[in-house]
Structure 1
Amino acid sequence: MTKQSLPSMDCPWGFLDGIKVAVDPWFWALCLSDMRWLRNQVVAPFTEELVFRACMLPMLVPCAGPSRAIFTCPLFFGVAHFHHVIELLRFRQGTISGIFLSAVFQFSYTAVFGAYTAFIFLRTGHLAGPVLCHSFCNYMGFPALSTALEHPHRLIVLSFYVLGVLLFLLLLFPMTDPHFYGWPTPICSLDSTQPGSLCS
């Protein structure tokens, strides 16, 4: 397979090439001079997590409890991304039904992602985790499932997708154990009810 015929999800770089780029100061200077990169990787993750996790969760937890707050907060986060619909409609970038379906899809995955980062913030009590996850998610984008299905080694690729999901689910609670981060975490101490399994 030549370099030109590589599927879009295959990276022609090796692991060491990636490390060299990551430690190259010119690479970071280029990134820091790109306003879109700054918006997507720094400003948006920090400001959105500050507002929707660090500010909103402490207000929701005393009223709704930790579990309900984790699933309520992302609804606001998802709605906050509807401005993309206005942009698409304004610049006529698609049909109305296509734009609507895109908005529903984006709302769905931003709400799920918001629940995940709310969970991290609740369990760790730190904003750094959600901000880094948000930045990483913005960088990686939505998984290229259609490309994985077309990959010549799709069984291997899909197996790693499944393995990743299983490891994620298996390690979610152990890696966010509040005892690692100074139990009880500040957000859990706001819960007026008996702390549930999310806070312990």
Structure 2
Amino acid sequence: MLEPQRDLIRQEELVQVKCWVSVLSCLLLACLYVGSLYVWRSSLPRNHPSVIKRRCVSVLLVSALSPAVVKTWMHWADVSVDVSVLELMGVRMEGFVPASILPLLLTMVFYLGPFVHSAMDDPDGFTGELQSTLDVQTWRLCVRDAVWLRNQVVAPVTEELVFRGAMLPMLVPCTGPTAAIFVAPLFFGVAHFHHIIEQRRLGKDSMSVILLVAGMQFLYTTVFGAFTAFIFMRTGHVVGPVLCHSFCNSQGLPDVTSALQHPERPALLFSYLMGILLFLVLLFPLTDPFFYGAAPVCSLAPPPASVC
């Protein structure tokens, strides 16, 4: 009678050890990512082109190392899968086209209100907005701008690869897919607290204001991180989260306060509400695994793997 009990205790202890290995591996990646931003000593602000270039190099190197961290975790946690590490991290070709289009479309639906708001304030309406988006000269200026490249390209690619592509496979065997969607963004949200250091160094705001802004940013990044983690788990691709991340960085938070003060407030509020409702209605249909094939990360999930 004692042997089965001992075996059960050993299994539970083994699961706990694996969970600690997973959490510490995620913590290591988060620290490497944030720490890489500060290996370059400089008194210049974070938006200075030379600072941006150096930090982009750092985070790209950490992202390149993230598959090795996942591979090491697989060894220590005794995890084996039938796909490559990159496929496990969402870098794969099966279902690539729908994974590049449908999650982005879903995100754009959520921004229906801001789109209508922007078109109302543009003298040329929707036509003006579309022409601005498709203007070649505007794009040429963007790709030469270090801030734009950081916000729209480097940050989305590196953050999604590290905080979603690498961390979710390490968390899923321990927490299950649903809990992992809400746990992984905590690392992402906390990682943004490093902005407190720079704001404090610049000394433009009081500590209470800095902490308030940091708290709001933590809330936003955690909620957004849960959304892209959900996209990753449902599609098994990292390209969708990257494109959604880039799009949201370009749009920023919806300006609801301005909408409430707008002369066309009823129409605007209706468009904001419709965007949210359509987003919720389309959330599961547009992320149905039918479009993308079986997600490799879901093979790590203990039953029941409801989100997958």
Structure 1 Cα separation of the partners of residues 226 and 202 of structure 2? 31
Q: What amino acid does structure 2 have at the position aligned with 1:197? A: S
Q: Which residue number in structure 1 is paired with residue 3 of structure 2?
A: none
Give the counterpart of 2:256 among 137, 145, 151.
145
Map Cα deviations across residues 126-174 of structure 1 (whole Å, 9 max, x no partner): 1111001101110111111111111111122111111111111111011
Within the candidate set 38, 52, 62, 2:163 is matched to 52
Contact map agreement 2:235 2:295 (CA 8 A) in 1: yes
Please name the residue that 1:73 is paired with.
184
> 1:194 aligned to 2:303?
yes
Deviation at 1:194, TM superposition (A): 1.4
Residue identity over aligned pairs, in percent, reads: 61
1:4 corresponds in structure 2 to none
Worse-matched range after superposition: 169-178 or 147-156: 147-156
TM-score (norm 1): 0.90
* 1:95 aligned partner, one-letter code: S
Q: Relative to structure 2, which stretch is displaced further, 152-161 or 12-21?
A: 12-21
* Structure 1 stretch displaced more, 34-43 or 158-167: 158-167
- Look up the equivalent residue of 2:280 and give its one-letter code: L
- For structure 1, the residue ranges without an aligned partner over 5 or more in a row are 1-6
- Of stretches 125-134 and 20-29 in structure 1, the one that deviates more from structure 2 is 20-29
Tell me the TM-score normalised to structure 2 length: 0.59
Amino acid at match of 2:230: F
Q: Give the counterpart of 2:151 among 26, 40, 50.
A: 40
Letter in 2 for 1:117: T
Distance 1:11 1:94 in 2: 33
Tell me what 2:285 maps to. Answer: 174
Over alpha carbons, which structure has the higher Rg?
A: 2
Runs of 5+ in structure 2 lacking a partner?
A: 1-116
2:82 maps to: none
1:130 aligned partner, one-letter code: P
**1:197 partner SS:** coil
1:77, 1:114 within 8 Å by CA — same for their partners in 2?
Answer: yes
> Counterparts in 2 of 1:1-200, with a 5 A limit?
10-182=121-293, 184-191=294-301, 193-199=302-308
RMSD over aligned CA atoms reads: 1.6
- Give the Å deviation of 1:30: 0.8
* Partner amino acid, structure 1, of 2:276: V
Secondary structure in structure 2 of the residue aligned to 1:126: coil
Deviates more, 1:67-76 or 1:86-95: 86-95
Residue type of the partner of 2:143?
A: L
- Does the CA-based 8 Å contact 1:188-1:195 persist in structure 2? no
Cα distance between partner residues in 2 of 1:12 and 1:71: 42
Identify which range, 78-87 or 31-40, moves more after superposition. Answer: 78-87
Question: How many residue pairs align between the two structures?
Answer: 191
| Distance in 1 between residues matched to 2:130 and 2:260, nearest whole Å | 28
Alpha-carbon offset, residue 32 of structure 1: 0.4
- The structural deviation recorded for 1:13 is 3.7
Asked if the contact 1:125/1:187 (under 8 Å) is kept, the reply is yes
Task: Check whether the contact 2:196–2:214 (CA below 8 A) recurs between aligned residues.
Answer: yes
| Amino acid in structure 2 at the alignment position of 1:155 | P
Of 95-104 and 105-114, the range deviating more from structure 2: 95-104
